[in-house]
Amino acid sequence: MPKIVRVREMTEEERKTMEQFRRSRTAAVRQVERARMIHWASQGQRGSQIASTLGVAENTVRNWINRFNEAGLPGICDEVRTGRPPTSSTEEVSLVVATALAKPDDLTLSFGHWTLDRLEEDLNEHKGIAIKRSRINEILQAQGLRGRKEEHWFGDRVDPDFAKKRGSSPPSTRSHQPEALS
C-alpha cells in the first residue's frame, strides 16, 4: 500500500498565493492543476481521490506534494530545461537576417520575394550555410520578422499574354450595372 503523503503546514503567504493560482484563469494550466493538488491535499483528500478528479496518476500527485513540501511555492513551477545550445554563430544569424531583408530582385534572383524554402535553398547552396527551414524561421521570429505563408500576385502578371489567353468572360456572367438612386 502506498505511503500517505501529507502537505506540510503552509505559511499565510503561501496559502494566499496558492489560492490565487488555484482560481486563476490566466496562469499556466500546469500550475493551476498543481495548486489544486496541494490545496485538496491540505484539505485532507487522499492522493487517489485527487488523481482521479484531475485525471492524472497517483504518483504524479505524490511527486508534486513532495516537491511543494521540500521547495515551497517554487516547487510547483516547472524547472528550467536545457536543450542543445544553438549551433549557429552570430555571423551566420546576421547573414540569415541580412539575406531575408534583401530584395531578391537586387540579388538578380528569378523571384520577387522570399519564402522559407527559398531562403533555405539560397543559404545552403549559395551562401554555404547548412541550415534548416525551421531554424531560419526561429531566427527570423526572434528578430521580429515574419515570412510569407503563401504567394500573392499583385501588379503585373507573370505572363504578359495572360489576358489574350484567358479570353472573354463566360456569357453567364452578368455585367454589373449601378442601381438607380430614387
| pLDDT given at position 3 | 66
Identify which of 75, 54, 57, 59 has the alpha carbon closest to the alpha carbon of residue 5: 59
The residue extents of the domains of the chain are 12-76, 90-150
Q: How far apart are CA 124 and CA 131, in angstroms?
A: 7
Under 8 Å between Cβ of 65 and 47 = yes
User: What are the cell numbers at 90?
Assistant: 552570430
Q: Which CATH architecture has domain 12-76?
A: Orthogonal Bundle (1.10)
Question: Position 102: which residue type?
Answer: A
pLDDT < 70 stretches in the chain: 1-3, 147-160, 162-163, 169-182
DSSP summary character for residue 140: H
| pLDDT given at position 83 | 82
pTM score, whole prediction: 0.47
| pLDDT given at position 82 | 82
pLDDT digits (tens, 9 = 90+) for 15-36: 999 999 999 888 888 999 999 9
Under 8 Å between Cβ of 104 and 114 = yes
